[in-house]
Structure 1
Amino acid sequence: MLKTLAALALLAGSASAAAAGCTVELDGNDMMQFDKKEIVVDAGCKDFTIHLKHSGKLAKNLMGHNVVVAKAADLQGVATDGATAGLDHDYVKPDDARVIAHSKVVGGGESATVTFAADKLAAGGDYAFFCSFPGHWSVMKGTIRRN
Protein backbone atom coordinates (compact mmCIF):
# COMPACT_ATOMS: atom_id res chain seq x y z
CA MET A 1 0.00 0.00 0.00
CA LEU A 2 2.79 2.41 0.89
CA LYS A 3 4.58 1.64 -2.40
CA THR A 4 1.38 2.40 -4.33
CA LEU A 5 0.93 5.72 -2.51
CA ALA A 6 4.57 6.62 -3.11
CA ALA A 7 4.21 5.79 -6.82
CA LEU A 8 1.06 7.94 -7.07
CA ALA A 9 2.80 10.82 -5.31
CA LEU A 10 5.73 10.52 -7.73
CA LEU A 11 3.38 10.57 -10.73
CA ALA A 12 1.51 13.59 -9.37
CA GLY A 13 4.82 15.39 -8.80
CA SER A 14 5.90 14.64 -12.39
CA ALA A 15 2.59 15.92 -13.79
CA SER A 16 2.80 19.18 -11.85
CA ALA A 17 6.45 19.61 -12.85
CA ALA A 18 5.50 19.14 -16.52
CA ALA A 19 2.61 21.59 -16.15
CA ALA A 20 4.98 24.14 -14.60
CA GLY A 21 7.13 24.01 -17.76
CA CYS A 22 4.04 24.46 -19.96
CA THR A 23 3.21 28.03 -19.03
CA VAL A 24 5.05 31.33 -18.87
CA GLU A 25 4.32 34.81 -17.54
CA LEU A 26 5.33 37.58 -19.95
CA ASP A 27 5.22 41.25 -19.01
CA GLY A 28 5.16 44.23 -21.37
CA ASN A 29 5.43 47.86 -20.26
CA ASP A 30 5.05 51.44 -21.48
CA MET A 31 8.74 51.47 -22.48
CA MET A 32 8.08 48.92 -25.28
CA GLN A 33 9.87 46.11 -23.47
CA PHE A 34 9.08 42.51 -22.68
CA ASP A 35 10.65 41.14 -19.51
CA LYS A 36 11.93 38.03 -21.32
CA LYS A 37 14.10 37.51 -24.40
CA GLU A 38 13.68 33.73 -24.51
CA ILE A 39 10.88 31.28 -23.77
CA VAL A 40 11.56 27.55 -23.55
CA VAL A 41 8.72 25.09 -24.06
CA ASP A 42 9.30 21.81 -22.25
CA ALA A 43 9.32 18.74 -24.50
CA GLY A 44 6.67 17.11 -22.30
CA CYS A 45 4.08 19.82 -22.89
CA LYS A 46 0.95 18.96 -24.83
CA ASP A 47 -0.25 22.57 -24.74
CA PHE A 48 1.69 25.73 -23.93
CA THR A 49 0.22 28.88 -22.36
CA ILE A 50 1.54 32.43 -22.40
CA HIS A 51 0.04 34.80 -19.83
CA LEU A 52 0.68 38.34 -21.07
CA LYS A 53 0.44 41.21 -18.61
CA HIS A 54 0.77 44.89 -19.52
CA SER A 55 2.29 46.51 -16.44
CA GLY A 56 2.18 50.01 -17.93
CA LYS A 57 -0.54 52.64 -17.65
CA LEU A 58 -1.19 53.67 -21.26
CA ALA A 59 -4.33 52.60 -23.14
CA LYS A 60 -4.20 49.88 -25.78
CA ASN A 61 -4.80 52.30 -28.65
CA LEU A 62 -1.68 54.26 -27.59
CA MET A 63 0.70 51.60 -26.25
CA GLY A 64 -1.06 48.28 -26.62
CA HIS A 65 0.77 44.97 -26.56
CA ASN A 66 0.01 41.48 -27.73
CA VAL A 67 2.14 38.40 -28.14
CA VAL A 68 2.43 36.63 -31.47
CA VAL A 69 4.29 33.37 -32.09
CA ALA A 70 5.62 32.57 -35.58
CA LYS A 71 8.69 31.25 -37.34
CA ALA A 72 11.52 33.76 -36.92
CA ALA A 73 11.79 34.10 -40.71
CA ASP A 74 8.12 35.20 -40.84
CA LEU A 75 8.32 37.80 -38.05
CA GLN A 76 8.65 40.93 -40.20
CA GLY A 77 6.02 39.85 -42.75
CA VAL A 78 3.51 38.92 -40.05
CA ALA A 79 4.11 42.22 -38.25
CA THR A 80 3.84 44.30 -41.45
CA ASP A 81 0.61 42.59 -42.51
CA GLY A 82 -0.69 42.87 -38.94
CA ALA A 83 -0.18 46.64 -38.91
CA THR A 84 -2.63 47.00 -41.78
CA ALA A 85 -5.11 44.63 -40.08
CA GLY A 86 -5.60 47.21 -37.31
CA LEU A 87 -6.52 47.16 -33.66
CA ASP A 88 -9.92 45.54 -34.35
CA HIS A 89 -7.99 42.44 -35.47
CA ASP A 90 -5.34 42.73 -32.70
CA TYR A 91 -2.77 43.73 -35.34
CA VAL A 92 -2.79 40.21 -36.79
CA LYS A 93 -3.97 39.58 -40.35
CA PRO A 94 -7.08 37.37 -40.10
CA ASP A 95 -6.39 33.70 -40.88
CA ASP A 96 -2.65 34.31 -41.36
CA ALA A 97 -1.25 30.78 -41.75
CA ARG A 98 2.19 31.99 -40.63
CA VAL A 99 0.86 32.78 -37.14
CA ILE A 100 1.18 29.88 -34.71
CA ALA A 101 -0.63 31.72 -31.91
CA HIS A 102 -1.50 35.23 -30.79
CA SER A 103 -3.19 37.01 -27.93
CA LYS A 104 -5.50 39.96 -28.04
CA VAL A 105 -4.03 43.45 -27.64
CA VAL A 106 -4.09 44.73 -24.06
CA GLY A 107 -3.50 48.15 -22.54
CA GLY A 108 -1.99 49.20 -19.24
CA GLY A 109 -3.18 47.10 -16.30
CA GLU A 110 -4.77 44.49 -18.56
CA SER A 111 -3.78 40.92 -19.33
CA ALA A 112 -4.48 38.22 -21.88
CA THR A 113 -3.79 34.52 -22.19
CA VAL A 114 -3.09 32.42 -25.27
CA THR A 115 -2.74 28.63 -25.35
CA PHE A 116 -1.56 26.60 -28.32
CA ALA A 117 -0.55 23.04 -29.12
CA ALA A 118 3.12 22.74 -28.20
CA ASP A 119 3.80 20.42 -31.13
CA LYS A 120 3.32 23.41 -33.45
CA LEU A 121 6.92 24.20 -32.44
CA ALA A 122 9.36 21.65 -33.84
CA ALA A 123 12.29 20.80 -31.57
CA GLY A 124 15.30 22.75 -32.82
CA GLY A 125 13.11 25.07 -34.92
CA ASP A 126 13.74 28.80 -35.18
CA TYR A 127 10.71 30.63 -33.73
CA ALA A 128 10.01 34.09 -32.38
CA PHE A 129 7.53 35.76 -30.08
CA PHE A 130 6.83 39.46 -30.57
CA CYS A 131 4.37 42.31 -30.19
CA SER A 132 2.73 43.17 -33.51
CA PHE A 133 1.47 46.62 -32.44
CA PRO A 134 2.82 48.93 -35.19
CA GLY A 135 6.47 49.77 -34.59
CA HIS A 136 6.86 47.49 -31.56
CA TRP A 137 8.04 44.26 -33.23
CA SER A 138 11.56 45.57 -33.87
CA VAL A 139 12.29 45.82 -30.14
CA MET A 140 9.61 43.73 -28.42
CA LYS A 141 10.70 40.30 -29.51
CA GLY A 142 12.49 37.20 -28.39
CA THR A 143 13.03 33.56 -29.23
CA ILE A 144 10.75 30.72 -28.33
CA ARG A 145 11.95 27.16 -28.66
CA ARG A 146 10.91 23.66 -27.79
CA ASN A 147 13.33 21.34 -26.02
Structure 2
Amino acid sequence: MKISLHHLALCAATLGASSAAFAQPAAPASAPVCEAHVQGQPGKKFDLTELRVSKRCAQFTVHLLHTGKKPWQEAGHNWVLTRSQDTEAVIREGQRSGPERAWLSRGDARVLAATQMLSGGEHASVSFPVERLSKGEDYTYFCSFPTHAEPMRGKLVVID
Protein backbone atom coordinates (compact mmCIF):
# COMPACT_ATOMS: atom_id res chain seq x y z
CA MET A 1 0.00 0.00 0.00
CA LYS A 2 1.34 3.31 -1.03
CA ILE A 3 0.76 6.35 1.25
CA SER A 4 1.10 9.81 -0.17
CA LEU A 5 2.43 12.81 1.71
CA HIS A 6 -0.97 14.42 1.32
CA HIS A 7 -2.62 11.45 3.06
CA LEU A 8 -0.08 11.58 5.94
CA ALA A 9 -0.69 15.30 6.41
CA LEU A 10 -4.45 14.72 6.47
CA CYS A 11 -4.10 11.96 9.11
CA ALA A 12 -1.83 14.12 11.26
CA ALA A 13 -4.25 17.04 11.08
CA THR A 14 -7.19 14.81 12.05
CA LEU A 15 -5.27 13.27 14.93
CA GLY A 16 -4.19 16.71 16.17
CA ALA A 17 -7.74 18.04 16.02
CA SER A 18 -9.18 15.09 17.90
CA SER A 19 -6.54 15.29 20.65
CA ALA A 20 -7.24 19.01 21.02
CA ALA A 21 -10.87 18.15 21.71
CA PHE A 22 -9.74 16.13 24.73
CA ALA A 23 -7.31 18.75 26.05
CA GLN A 24 -8.05 19.99 29.56
CA PRO A 25 -9.06 23.63 29.89
CA ALA A 26 -6.70 25.88 31.79
CA ALA A 27 -7.21 25.63 35.53
CA PRO A 28 -9.15 28.57 36.92
CA ALA A 29 -7.36 30.89 39.33
CA SER A 30 -7.64 29.51 42.82
CA ALA A 31 -10.58 30.84 44.75
CA PRO A 32 -9.64 33.18 47.59
CA VAL A 33 -10.03 32.04 51.18
CA CYS A 34 -12.75 34.27 52.61
CA GLU A 35 -12.77 33.12 56.23
CA ALA A 36 -10.41 32.49 59.12
CA HIS A 37 -10.62 30.41 62.28
CA VAL A 38 -9.05 32.20 65.24
CA GLN A 39 -8.61 30.93 68.78
CA GLY A 40 -8.63 33.19 71.81
CA GLN A 41 -6.41 31.29 74.19
CA PRO A 42 -5.58 31.39 77.90
CA GLY A 43 -2.57 33.58 78.53
CA LYS A 44 -4.15 36.51 76.67
CA LYS A 45 -3.24 35.54 73.14
CA PHE A 46 -4.69 34.78 69.74
CA ASP A 47 -3.27 31.76 67.93
CA LEU A 48 -3.02 33.81 64.71
CA THR A 49 -1.24 37.15 64.71
CA GLU A 50 -1.86 37.94 61.05
CA LEU A 51 -4.85 37.44 58.76
CA ARG A 52 -4.63 37.97 55.01
CA VAL A 53 -7.85 39.07 53.32
CA SER A 54 -8.29 38.99 49.55
CA LYS A 55 -10.01 41.91 47.82
CA ARG A 56 -11.60 39.19 45.65
CA CYS A 57 -13.80 38.21 48.63
CA ALA A 58 -17.17 39.93 48.85
CA GLN A 59 -17.39 39.09 52.57
CA PHE A 60 -14.79 37.91 55.05
CA THR A 61 -15.81 35.87 58.09
CA VAL A 62 -13.84 35.39 61.29
CA HIS A 63 -14.81 32.40 63.43
CA LEU A 64 -13.59 32.89 67.00
CA LEU A 65 -13.27 30.09 69.55
CA HIS A 66 -12.45 30.85 73.19
CA THR A 67 -10.33 27.85 74.20
CA GLY A 68 -10.22 28.72 77.90
CA LYS A 69 -12.61 27.72 80.68
CA LYS A 70 -13.40 30.95 82.55
CA PRO A 71 -16.67 32.89 82.18
CA TRP A 72 -16.56 36.07 80.12
CA GLN A 73 -16.83 38.24 83.24
CA GLU A 74 -13.46 36.89 84.45
CA ALA A 75 -11.51 36.36 81.23
CA GLY A 76 -13.68 36.84 78.17
CA HIS A 77 -12.41 37.03 74.62
CA ASN A 78 -13.78 38.79 71.57
CA TRP A 79 -12.39 39.80 68.19
CA VAL A 80 -12.53 43.49 67.24
CA LEU A 81 -11.24 45.04 63.99
CA THR A 82 -10.21 48.69 63.59
CA ARG A 83 -7.88 50.74 61.45
CA SER A 84 -4.56 50.69 63.28
CA GLN A 85 -4.64 54.47 63.68
CA ASP A 86 -7.92 54.13 65.65
CA THR A 87 -7.05 51.14 67.83
CA GLU A 88 -5.74 52.90 70.95
CA ALA A 89 -8.62 55.40 71.08
CA VAL A 90 -11.22 52.65 70.59
CA ILE A 91 -9.67 50.64 73.44
CA ARG A 92 -9.38 53.65 75.76
CA GLU A 93 -12.94 54.84 75.15
CA GLY A 94 -14.31 51.30 75.22
CA GLN A 95 -12.94 50.68 78.71
CA ARG A 96 -15.30 53.39 79.97
CA SER A 97 -18.26 51.52 78.44
CA GLY A 98 -17.89 48.64 80.88
CA PRO A 99 -18.79 44.97 80.73
CA GLU A 100 -22.43 45.51 79.69
CA ARG A 101 -21.12 46.65 76.31
CA ALA A 102 -18.12 44.30 76.10
CA TRP A 103 -15.81 47.27 76.69
CA LEU A 104 -16.70 48.85 73.34
CA SER A 105 -18.48 52.16 72.85
CA ARG A 106 -21.93 51.59 71.40
CA GLY A 107 -22.19 52.66 67.77
CA ASP A 108 -18.47 53.45 67.39
CA ALA A 109 -18.00 53.77 63.61
CA ARG A 110 -14.26 53.08 64.03
CA VAL A 111 -15.11 49.47 64.92
CA LEU A 112 -15.20 47.75 61.53
CA ALA A 113 -16.27 44.35 62.88
CA ALA A 114 -16.60 42.66 66.28
CA THR A 115 -17.82 39.43 67.82
CA GLN A 116 -19.62 39.33 71.12
CA MET A 117 -17.61 38.67 74.29
CA LEU A 118 -17.23 34.91 74.84
CA SER A 119 -16.81 32.65 77.84
CA GLY A 120 -14.47 29.68 77.69
CA GLY A 121 -15.66 27.00 75.27
CA GLU A 122 -17.94 29.37 73.33
CA HIS A 123 -17.58 30.40 69.71
CA ALA A 124 -18.93 33.21 67.55
CA SER A 125 -18.52 34.49 64.01
CA VAL A 126 -18.55 37.92 62.44
CA SER A 127 -18.71 38.75 58.73
CA PHE A 128 -17.94 42.07 57.12
CA PRO A 129 -17.82 43.40 53.54
CA VAL A 130 -14.27 43.44 52.19
CA GLU A 131 -15.07 46.50 50.09
CA ARG A 132 -14.84 48.51 53.35
CA LEU A 133 -11.12 47.67 53.52
CA SER A 134 -8.37 49.39 51.53
CA LYS A 135 -5.21 47.76 50.29
CA GLY A 136 -2.22 49.45 51.91
CA GLU A 137 -4.19 50.54 55.00
CA ASP A 138 -3.05 49.14 58.36
CA TYR A 139 -5.67 47.19 60.31
CA THR A 140 -5.41 45.78 63.83
CA TYR A 141 -7.60 43.22 65.53
CA PHE A 142 -7.68 42.82 69.30
CA CYS A 143 -9.65 41.58 72.30
CA SER A 144 -11.37 44.41 74.18
CA PHE A 145 -11.47 42.67 77.59
CA PRO A 146 -9.56 44.81 80.15
CA THR A 147 -5.83 43.97 80.20
CA HIS A 148 -6.21 41.77 77.09
CA ALA A 149 -6.07 44.47 74.40
CA GLU A 150 -2.30 44.93 74.50
CA PRO A 151 -1.14 41.30 74.28
CA MET A 152 -4.10 40.02 72.23
CA ARG A 153 -3.50 41.75 68.92
CA GLY A 154 -2.94 40.88 65.34
CA LYS A 155 -2.65 42.50 61.94
CA LEU A 156 -5.14 42.17 59.12
CA VAL A 157 -3.52 42.61 55.71
CA VAL A 158 -5.51 43.26 52.53
CA ILE A 159 -4.08 41.45 49.50
CA ASP A 160 -4.80 41.25 45.73
Using the size of structure 2 for normalisation, the TM-score is 0.79
Determine the C-alpha separation between the residues in 2 that align with 1:89 and 1:128. Answer: 20
Question: 1:50-93 deviations in whole A, cap 9, x for unaligned?
Answer: 00000011110000011110011111111111111122212210
Aligned residues: CA RMSD: 1.7
5+ long unaligned stretches in structure 2: 1-20
Partner SS for 2:157: strand
Partner SS for 1:107: coil
Greater CA drift, 106-115 or 85-94:
85-94
Given that 1:30 and 1:58 are in contact with CA atoms closer than 8 Å, whether structure 2 keeps it comes out as no
- Are positions 1:59 and 2:81 aligned together? no
Identity of matched residues, % = 35
Determine the C-alpha separation between the residues in 1 that align with 2:102 and 2:59. Answer: 22
Determine the C-alpha separation between the residues in 1 that align with 2:127 and 2:100. Answer: 20
Using the size of structure 1 for normalisation, the TM-score is 0.86
Given that 1:87 and 1:105 are in contact with CA atoms closer than 8 Å, whether structure 2 keeps it comes out as no
Determine the C-alpha separation between the residues in 1 that align with 2:62 and 2:111. Answer: 15
Larger Rg: 2
- Are positions 1:41 and 2:56 aligned together? no
Determine the C-alpha separation between the residues in 1 that align with 2:97 and 2:131. Answer: 27
Aligned residues: 136
Determine the C-alpha separation between the residues in 2 that align with 1:25 and 1:132. Answer: 18
Partner SS for 1:85: coil
Partner SS for 2:57: coil
1:109, distance to aligned residue in structure 2 (A): 0.2
Matches within 5 A, 1:5-24: 14=30, 17-18=31-32, 21-24=33-36
Partner of 2:143: 131
Q: Which amino acid aligns with 2:138?
A: D
Partner SS for 1:65: coil
Determine the C-alpha separation between the residues in 2 that align with 1:82 and 1:111. Answer: 22
